[in-house]
Amino acid sequence: MVTILADSESEWGALRWYVDSPAWQSRFSQVHPYEDMGLGKSLQALVSVSLAHDDVSGDNLAQSLIVCPSTLVRHWQSEVGKFFSSSLIFNVLCLTGSRENRLATWKARAHDVNLVVTSYSVMRSDIEYLQHEQWCCTILDEG
């Protein structure tokens, strides 16, 4: 299950090409858009991601991606820490900062994280390496 957090159509329209792709459609059968504030969307999404990670078998580490406005990247990191204090469930990487720093951080840590949080602008800028990952879940938070 994939949970998309959407308050408007603004960024969603720009990313619809990804969600409408055959790869997305074959992988995910349900998309749940949530709109109202205060419903625990972050927690619902994180629980869904952790359950999806549990379903992944094999030697590969299941990785998921959260894309949000840049002002919410640290919020997502905080929510993970608040609800999932044990690093046994999520090992988070926030892709922020300069392009050079992000790429160095990605190369150093991509193999040992299972949750990547980044902004829409960083995703557009760094799409050349992010698009090659096999994301277990992708959450689009429009804030």
> How much is the mean pLDDT over the chain?
79
Q: Which long-range contacts (CB under 8 A, 24 or more apart) does 32-37 make?
A: 32/1, 32/2, 32/3, 32/4, 33/4, 33/5, 33/6, 34/3, 34/4, 34/5, 34/6, 35/6, 35/7
Please state, in angstroms and rounded to a whole number, the distance separating the CA atoms of residues 56 and 19: 21
The pLDDT of residue 18: 47
- pLDDT over 70, % of the chain: 71
**pLDDT at residue 134 is higher than 80:** yes
C-alpha to C-alpha distances, 19 to 5, 14, 22, 38, 89, nearest whole angstrom: 13, 10, 8, 26, 26
Tens digits of residue pLDDT in 105-131: 999 999 899 999 999 999 999 999 999
| Residue 136 or residue 5, greater confidence | 136
| Residue 63 or residue 84, greater confidence | 63
**Average pLDDT of span 85-98:** 88
Q: pTM for the complete prediction? A: 0.73
**Average pLDDT of span 24-45:** 61
Please state, in angstroms and rounded to a whole number, the distance separating the CA atoms of residues 68 and 15: 12
